[in-house]
Amino acid sequence: MANFTDLLGSLMQAGMSDSRSTRITNAFGGSGSGGGLNDLLGSLGQMLGGGKAQTSGGGNLGSGGNLGGVIGSVLESLGSNKAVVGGLGALVGAVLGGGGSATRGAIGGGSLAMLASLAFAALKNAGQQPPPPAALMEDRTPQQNQRIEEDAMTIVKAMINAAKADGQIDDKEVVKITGKLNENGLTDEEREFFTAEINQPLDLQGLIASARHRPELAAQIYAASLLAIEVDTDAERQYLQALASGLQLPPQSVAYIESTLGVA
């Protein structure tokens, strides 16, 4: 059986778009008015009982920060959850330095933590009260772990779906991505899943249905889609508009996600 958290980690390492590293760096660095993950993770840490929500800059949710502040904030606010800290560090290493010796699972876990945090902040920015993300919790129930793995599968599907937005994915690009995935230790089951999804026609409605009544997953789907494409064609922009509309994301949440990732 495919491990979708691992597969997500492999996709983040491989990079489905050239802008992926820049956008993740923007999220951690706080470029743009949407803020970054610095104060965001501190705020989440307080909600989860991790400690006082502070950052190196002393700001509040959405005020921005930098990579050092993010890691420091996580250590302070979620100090007992070493898996989250390690996963975020692995993600940063993957996008900025090739990942080093970090495991796919750690990078995937960090990716889920980042996306869940960004979704939480985006919904809060629209006046909603989303539940604390399970991806940032240390003590999770088996049911929560199963839901997280299911969400990872949906996020992987969202990234692959977005890559088809301006037409069928170029064969050379498929070979390039698949080659990088194989270097990252893809299992046979994961390779079969990825290949099957790549060859499926674009399924916007199916993706939208997978997040019905779950705005926090909807926001993660939108954010992950932005990490998979350049957003430099009319077809991609129209796809994202249709995706946001179908997911019923508040305009404020869409703007927050785009600003945090540095998408013009």
pLDDT in tens, 145-202: 999 999 999 999 999 999 999 886 777 778 888 888 888 788 999 999 999 999 999 9
Instruction: Quickly state the pLDDT bin for 58 (edges 50, 70, 90).
Output: very low
More confident call, 113 vs 63: 113
201 three-state secondary structure = coil
Q: Which pLDDT score is estimated for 70?
A: 35
Considering only CA atoms, which of 6, 45, 221, 216 is closest in space to residue 138? 45
Q: Which residues contact 260 (CB under 8 A, 6 or more apart)?
A: 26, 27, 30, 32, 34, 35, 36, 118, 121, 122
Match 């540095």 to its residue by tokens.
Answer: 262
Mean pLDDT within 43-65: 39
As to burial, measured by CB atoms within 10 angstroms (0-12 exposed, 13-18 middle, 19+ buried), residue 75 is middle
**How much is the pTM?**
0.82
CA 113 to chain centroid: 7
Instruction: Enumerate the domain spans of the chain.
Output: 4-261
Structure tokens at 32: 């743009």
pLDDT at position 255 over 70 = yes
pLDDT at position 49 over 60 = no
Do the Cβ atoms of 180 and 245 come closer than 8 Å?
no
pLDDT at position 60 over 50 = no
pLDDT in tens, 101-126: 568 888 899 899 889 888 888 898 89
DSSP, residue by residue, 202-248: P-HHHHHHTTTT-HHHHHHHHHHHHHH----SHHHHHHHHHHHHHTT
pLDDT at position 95 over 60 = yes
